[in-house]
């Protein structure tokens, strides 16, 4: 019995030590030991084959050994486990990465023999593969732009040879990057939220609107209600991108509204005039909001109770925000509906505060008059009393 135990422990020890690859490859052994694969007892030979128990190179690298130096092999290697539902079920992991990859710009080009495209290990690393939730993973949300930027940035990519395209740099200058990387707003897209993770492909004409509309649904709805929706697709213009940059997307500024129309409509044309008029609507609403803010500040110094007014000013601002997507209808009356809601709410606030302030002034005046008569009465009474006293004396 004891002998059996000893034998078993011995066998187990031998099992644990059966991988000798690390003896000659200490660097890879350390890298691998930090990975999620190592935690799940995946060994060198699960990917490289060979004879793991051997301690001489020739033997170790014998049998079904593969060096994996050809990049073309890699997706298929990873797919051996990751596309197999039976193996992945226990981990509740999707098994679609390989299938999607094959439909991607990367996968299609790899089949054509372009080995400079991304394969699984370019985005995930080779020996220290981590879960994407791990902040050290190259696929952690904040690290994705740099991961793609290894190839799609820094002076351009083989893919863009001859062009100046630098998607990483453009993206880093966008409102989306500022939201995600500086403000930590994880609703803002990195590269893969627009392109797909494993199926990375640029969106084509007719699809851009849907893609941006995943997040900007009000803008998309308004755009679809506009005369632009069908005419732009017919003209081969990529919807949202006819007016907004895809990578260097800039924050909205109503001051540039009419300017944006000039790209396609002549100065002085009916369409341009609509753009100008919409701009004026925004400018007037902004002015009224600013004025209301000043009036509230004045009331606060009196002091008046202003919490209610501040809440209503916020509501007026919200109407103005709702007017922005409505710009995409390029209909003056649609925009006017929201901006005038905003303006009239601001005017209402001003009128109420003005009313209260003049009430207050009136009350103060009455108070002064009241005190004046009171003091006068006291003085007169005092005066007559003194007189009466003098008489008696």
Is residue 309 at the binding interface for ligand HEC, with CB under 6 A as the rule?
A: no
Residue count at the site for ligand HEC (CB under 6 A)?
140
Is residue 279 at the binding interface for ligand HEC, with CB under 6 A as the rule?
A: no
- Pick one of 9, 214, 267, 377: the residue that binds ligand HEC (CB under 6 A): 214
- Smaller CB distance to ligand HEC: residue 193 or 343? 193
- Pick one of 18, 20, 318, 340: the residue that binds ligand HEC (CB under 6 A): 20
Is residue 257 at the binding interface for ligand HEC, with CB under 6 A as the rule?
A: yes
- Which residues in 109-128 contact ligand HEC (CB under 6 A)? 109, 114, 116-124, 126-127
- Smaller CB distance to ligand HEC: residue 168 or 306? 168
- Pick one of 34, 175, 280, 283: the residue that binds ligand HEC (CB under 6 A): 175
- Which residues in 38-67 contact ligand HEC (CB under 6 A)? 40, 42, 44-48, 50, 52, 55-57, 60-61, 67
- Smaller CB distance to ligand HEC: residue 252 or 352? 252
Is residue 318 at the binding interface for ligand HEC, with CB under 6 A as the rule?
A: no
Is residue 247 at the binding interface for ligand HEC, with CB under 6 A as the rule?
A: yes
- Pick one of 128, 156, 191, 292: the residue that binds ligand HEC (CB under 6 A): 191
- Smaller CB distance to ligand HEC: residue 216 or 298? 216
Is residue 36 at the binding interface for ligand HEC, with CB under 6 A as the rule?
A: yes
- From CA 1, how far away is CA 200, in angstroms rounded? 59
- Pick one of 212, 289, 299, 346: the residue that binds ligand HEC (CB under 6 A): 212
């Amino acid at each position: 019995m004891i002998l059996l135990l000893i034998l078993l422990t011995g066998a187990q020890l031998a099992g644990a030590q059966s991988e000798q690859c690390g003896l000659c490859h200490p660097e890879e052994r350390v890298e691998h030991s930090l990975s999620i694969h190592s935690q799940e007892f995946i060994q060198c030979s699960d990917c490289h084959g060979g004879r793991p128990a051997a301690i001489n190179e020739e033997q170790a690298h014998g049998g079904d050994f593969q060096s994996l130096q050809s990049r073309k092999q890699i997706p298929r290697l990873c797919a051996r486990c990751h596309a197999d539902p039976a193996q992945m079920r226990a981990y509740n992991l999707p098994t679609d990465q390989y299938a999607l990859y094959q439909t991607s710009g990367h996968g299609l080009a790899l089949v054509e023999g372009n080995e400079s495209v991304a394969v699984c290990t370019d985005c995930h690393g080779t020996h220290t593969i981590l879960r994407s939730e791990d902040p050290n993973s190259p696929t952690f949300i904040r690290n994705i732009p740099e991961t793609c930027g290894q190839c799609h940035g820094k002076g351009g990519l083989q893919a863009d040879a001859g062009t100046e395209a630098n998607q990483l740099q453009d993206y880093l200058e966008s409102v989306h990057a500022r939201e995600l990387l500086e403000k930590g707003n994880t609703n803002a897209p990195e590269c893969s939220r627009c392109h797909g993770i494993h199926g990375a492909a640029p969106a084509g004409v007719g699809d851009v609107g849907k893609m941006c509309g995943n997040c900007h649904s009000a803008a998309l709805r308004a755009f679809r209600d506009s005369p632009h929706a069908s005419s732009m697709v017919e003209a081969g213009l990529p919807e949202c991108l006819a007016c907004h940059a895809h990578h260097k997307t800039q924050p909205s500024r109503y001051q540039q509204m009419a300017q944006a129309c000039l790209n396609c409509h002549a100065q002085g044309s009916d369409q341009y005039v609509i753009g100008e008029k919409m701009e004026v609507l925004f400018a007037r609403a902004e002015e009224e909001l600013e004025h209301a803010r000043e009036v509230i500040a004045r009331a606060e110094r009196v002091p008046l109770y202003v919490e209610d007014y501040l809440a209503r000013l916020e509501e007026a601002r919200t109407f103005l925000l709702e007017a922005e997507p409505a710009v995409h209808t390029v209909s003056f009356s649609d925009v006017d509906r929201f901006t005038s809601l905003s303006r009239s709410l601001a005017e209402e606030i001003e009128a109420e505060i003005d009313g209260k302030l003049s009430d207050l002034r009136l009350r103060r005046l009455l108070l002064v008059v009241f005190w004046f008569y009171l003091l006068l009465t006291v003085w007169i009474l005092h005066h007559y009393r003194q007189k009466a006293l003098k008489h008696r004396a």
